[in-house]
């Protein structure tokens, strides 16, 4: 698709709804990979941070942070790791995401489909709870290598939460991929600058992304739900996870909040922005 076309304003109202209806059919056919951000969890109004900025603010209530780190969650976590301990970062993350997050109707709907791949970029456990009635799925989580000395970028967990080898993932009907980690089942977190320096050094050549994820994204498009891309790191992850898949992709967005960087990102990556309330898009995906 011509990037110049994508630089126009997002598709609005009725046309956006028609596009979501068409995507719903492709989703049921397994042709779409849902790429979910914290905005989806936010529909259930949980008592957890729902943006990187809110998580940075949580850190600031627990530890005195230098001015340069305030408001930046990755710099905040790095300061805590450097001046206290990695265990302190892990404990604070576990505290921040200790409140349960009830799966939304869309979580439950997506969990009911035999989707080959679901990408969830926030740290909550709503998708794991939504999938708990099934035993034919597993979860891959990004994990820090700080202090471990292992040549591994991810941890693999089966439906019951037990850690398994990467070979088990080939047999899972649905893979829940949480590239930044998650609070359940084992408190794996990518959060500090040091964590991301390691990953971003190699993500261009795809090393940190599991082979089974690369296989399952091929020939599929991505649908971004509840995501923002106003930060360079968030854009880098989305770009690399959706690499070598089947553009065009689609993103449900709040057209009034899009930054210039987000618009350029959508244009460059072949992502069609659909200006629609997230709750309305969820309803259409479930009922179309």
Residue 1 has pLDDT above 50, yes or no: no
Task: State pLDDT tens for residues 105-158.
Answer: 999 999 999 999 999 999 999 999 999 999 999 999 999 876 555 668 999 999
Task: State pLDDT tens for residues 7-38.
Answer: 668 999 899 999 999 999 999 999 999 999 99
Give mean pLDDT, residues 252-267: 96
Q: Output the pLDDT for position 5.
A: 41
Residues 145 and 181 in one domain: yes
Residues 28 and 122 in one domain: yes
Residues 7 and 39 in one domain: yes
Does the model's pTM come out above 0.85?
A: yes
Radius of gyration of the chain measured on its C-alpha atoms: 18
C-alpha closest to that of 12 among 254, 239, 258: 254
Residues 216 and 199 in one domain: yes
Residues 156 and 264 in one domain: yes
The CATH number of the domain holding residue 279 is: 3.40.50.1220
Residues 124 and 23 in one domain: yes
Give mean pLDDT, residues 84-92: 95
Residues 12 and 80 in one domain: no
Look-up: residue for tokens 């794996």? 188
- Paired strand residues for 222: 33
Residues 23 and 106 in one domain: yes
For the chain, what is the domain count?
2
Q: Output the pLDDT for position 95.
A: 98
Q: How far is CA 224 from the centre of its chain?
A: 9
Residue 116 is part of which domain span?
3-45+102-287
Residues 135 and 188 in one domain: yes
Residues 12 and 132 in one domain: yes
Residues 10 and 29 in one domain: yes
67 in helix, strand or coil? coil
Q: ∠ CA 152-156-162 to the nearest 5 degrees?
A: 130
Give mean pLDDT, residues 222-242: 96
- Burial classification of residue 30, based on how many CB atoms lie within 10 Å of its CB (0-12 exposed, 13-18 middle, 19 or more buried): middle
Contacts 24+ apart (CB under 8 A), 78-81: 78/192, 78/193, 78/194, 80/192, 81/146, 81/192, 81/194
């Amino acid at each position: 698709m011509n990037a110049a076309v994508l630089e126009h304003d997002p598709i609005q109202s009725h046309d956006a709804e028609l596009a979501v209806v068409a995507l719903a059919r492709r989703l049921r056919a397994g042709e779409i990979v849902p790429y979910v951000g914290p905005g989806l969890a936010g529909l259930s109004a949980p008592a957890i941070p729902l943006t990187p900025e809110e998580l940075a603010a949580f850190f600031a209530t627990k530890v005195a942070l230098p001015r340069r780190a305030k408001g930046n969650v990755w710099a905040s976590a790095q300061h805590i790791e450097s001046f206290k301990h990695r265990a302190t970062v892990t404990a604070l993350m576990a505290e921040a995401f200790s409140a349960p997050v009830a799966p939304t109707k869309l979580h439950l709907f997506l969990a009911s489909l035999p989707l080959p791949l679901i990408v969830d970029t926030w740290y909550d456990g709503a998708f794991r709870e939504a999938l708990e009635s099934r035993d034919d799925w597993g979860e891959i989580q990004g994990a820090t290598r700080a202090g471990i000395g292992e040549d591994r970028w991810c941890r693999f967990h089966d439906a019951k939460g037990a850690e398994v080898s990467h070979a088990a993932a080939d047999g899972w009907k649905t893979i829940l991929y949480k590239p930044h980690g998650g609070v359940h089942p084992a408190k794996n977190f990518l959060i500090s600058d040091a964590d991301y320096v390691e990953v971003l050094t190699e993500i261009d050549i795809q090393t940190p992304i599991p082979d089974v994820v690369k296989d399952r994204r091929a020939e599929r498009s991505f649908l971004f739900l509840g995501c923002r891309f106003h930060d360079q790191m968030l854009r880098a992850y989305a770009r690399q996870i959706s690499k070598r898949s089947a553009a065009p992709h689609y993103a449900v967005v709040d057209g009034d909040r899009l930054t210039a960087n987000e618009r350029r990102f959508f244009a460059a990556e072949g992502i069609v922005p659909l200006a629609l309330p997230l709750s309305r898009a969820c309803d259409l995906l479930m009922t179309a």
